[in-house]
């Protein structure tokens, strides 16, 4: 019954815009809404995932240990109007976060140990409230910084490091890159960053303002990949929020070919897609479901058929499936980049 309720919620929130705005908009302003207690990262309950806790699409060999670490920041999973920032202990929020990590972060489990903190994320409607958005996001990012510093102090073993996230989590990932990876030892350990589902503008890239370069092929390391998935003919401006600057074309790295070429990449090259794993476990990836093309900074796809991919955002926005549509390709690519990093460091 709980899983069926979760399924209904996930179907409604992306598509029923007016309902979701009402259901996720607090009745008081930011100053009048008390912030929930900050998470204590010494407590296991403040982590949505720690090594070995996520289901795997494929079992690791017995006794094997993945060679890297993955710091993963989940997307918005708080859809309530109780506050502008989420308490980390809410039951349904934790359940939705678990489902989300199963469909996204698990793609990295062969490559690295997963560390995914809970944080006082901003509620969904905060994106549409310019007077609230930056303060609510700053509060959440303060948690992310503390989680990352706790990871460095208590879990870090000097391994190669992957950063990954989605949507709201990717916003914070980009800030982590600027704050911790512009130079120094952490920059040297960075395999790649995957701030998927975030608007990364070409302007800062061209001006050299981004902490790391954009990845140009499947084995490049120390670089960044991102994409935003839309059905051909959809309007990508639907994810531009009020008051946010629109600077230039956004970055798109094709998650099938792992380059920025604007040629169409056919579905036959897609190693496997999965639906959002609402009922637990990792579904067997379905090869050849969708092709993709980067054009104008957007990843254009042919819409997948069937009800298993019905949780589309309004107007052909497949944001909810940015990872899942290319699950097996992401899984393979994380391994490729870690292997390339290890080969490069062995040759030093």
Confidence of residue 18 (pLDDT cuts 50, 70, 90): very low
Cα 171 to Cα 96: distance, rounded to the nearest angstrom: 19
Assigned domain for 115 exists: yes
Assigned domain for 75 exists: yes
Q: Which helix (H) or strand (E) covers residue 296, if one does?
A: none
Cα 159 to Cα 190: distance, rounded to the nearest angstrom: 9
Q: What is the predicted pLDDT for the residue at 83? A: 84
Percent of the chain with pLDDT over 70: 84
**Distances in Å between the alpha carbon of 286 and those of 196, 268, 333?**
21, 11, 17
Q: What is the DSSP letter of 1?
A: -
Provide the residue range defining the domain that includes 94.
11-26+43-54+65-226+323-346
158-187 mean pLDDT: 97
- Residue 47 pLDDT greater than 50, yes or no: yes
Assigned domain for 311 exists: no
Specify which residues 298 forms β-bridges with. Answer: 295
Could you report the per-residue pLDDT of 223-256, keeping only the tens digit for each?
A: 999 999 999 989 887 777 666 666 678 999 999 9
Among the listed residues 189, 97, 88, 93, the one whose alpha carbon sits nearest the alpha carbon of residue 144: 88
**239 close to 170: Cβ distance less than 8 angstroms:** no
Cα 82 to Cα 24: distance, rounded to the nearest angstrom: 8
Total domain count, the chain: 1
Helix (H, G, I), strand (E, B) or coil at 318: coil
- The set of residues, in sequence order, having a beta carbon less than 8 Å from that of 37 and lying 6+ positions away, is 87
- The set of residues, in sequence order, having a beta carbon less than 8 Å from that of 6 and lying 6+ positions away, is 92, 95, 96, 99, 278
Q: Where are the alpha helices (DSSP H) in the chain?
A: 2-15, 17-23, 91-103, 130-154, 168-180, 185-189, 202-206, 327-346
Cα 86 to Cα 143: distance, rounded to the nearest angstrom: 12
Specify which residues 196 forms β-bridges with. Answer: 166
* Better-predicted residue by pLDDT, 128 or 263: 263
- Residue 17 pLDDT greater than 70, yes or no: no
Burial class (CB in 10 A: 0-12, 13-18, 19+), 302: middle
Assigned domain for 242 exists: no
Could you report the per-residue pLDDT of 284-300, keeping only the tens digit for each?
A: 999 999 999 999 999 99
**Distances in Å between the alpha carbon of 90 and those of 35, 95, 187?**
14, 9, 35
Could you report the per-residue pLDDT of 255-264, keeping only the tens digit for each?
A: 999 999 999 9
Assigned domain for 144 exists: yes
Q: What is the DSSP letter of 81?
A: S
- Residue 46 pLDDT greater than 50, yes or no: yes
Specify which residues 73 forms β-bridges with. Answer: 165
Q: What is the predicted pLDDT for the residue at 15? A: 43
Assigned domain for 49 exists: yes
Question: Tokens standing for 265?
Answer: 């990449």
- Residue 5 pLDDT greater than 80, yes or no: no
**Model pTM score:** 0.92
Could you report the per-residue pLDDT of 325-344, keeping only the tens digit for each?
A: 999 999 999 999 999 999 99
Cα 323 to Cα 344: distance, rounded to the nearest angstrom: 27
Assigned domain for 297 exists: no
């Amino acid at each position: 019954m709980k899983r069926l309720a979760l399924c209904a919620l996930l179907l409604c929130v992306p598509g029923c815009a007016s309902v979701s705005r009402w259901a996720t908009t607090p009745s008081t302003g930011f100053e009048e809404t008390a912030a929930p207690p900050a998470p204590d990262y010494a407590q296991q309950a403040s982590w949505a995932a720690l090594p070995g806790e996520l289901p795997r699409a494929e079992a690791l060999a017995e006794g094997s240990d993945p060679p890297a670490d993955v710091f993963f920041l989940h997307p918005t999973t708080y859809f309530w109007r109780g506050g502008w920032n989420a308490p980390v202990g809410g039951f349904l929020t934790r359940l939705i976060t678990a489902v989300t990590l199963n469909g996204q972060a698990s793609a990295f489990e062969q490559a690295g140990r997963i560390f995914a903190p809970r944080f006082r994320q901003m509620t969904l409607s905060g994106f549409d409230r310019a007077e609230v958005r930056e303060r609510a996001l700053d509060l959440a990012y303060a948690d992310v910084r503390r989680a990352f510093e706790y990871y460095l102090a208590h879990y870090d073993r000097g391994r190669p490091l992957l950063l990954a996230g989605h949507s709201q989590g990717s916003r914070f990932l980009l800030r982590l890159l600027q704050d911790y990876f512009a130079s120094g030892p952490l920059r040297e350990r960075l395999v790649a960053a995957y701030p998927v589902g975030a608007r990364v503008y070409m302007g800062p890239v061209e001006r050299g303002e981004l902490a790391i370069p954009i990845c140009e092929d499947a084995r490049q390391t120390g670089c960044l990949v991102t994409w935003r998935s839309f059905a051909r003919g959809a309007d990508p401006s639907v994810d531009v929020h009020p008051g946010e600057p629109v600077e230039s074309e956004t970055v798109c790295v094709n998650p099938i070919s792992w380059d920025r070429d604007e040629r169409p990449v056919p579905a036959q090259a897609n190693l496997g897609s999965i639906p959002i794993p609402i009922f637990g476990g990792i579904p067997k990836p379905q090869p050849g479901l969708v092709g993709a093309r980067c054009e104008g900074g957007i990843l254009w796809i042919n819409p997948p058929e069937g009800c298993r991919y019905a949780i589309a955002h309004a107007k052909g926005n497949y944001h909810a499936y940015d990872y899942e549509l290319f699950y097996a390709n992401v899984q393979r690519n994380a391994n490729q980049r870690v292997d390339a990093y290890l080969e490069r460091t062995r040759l030093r």
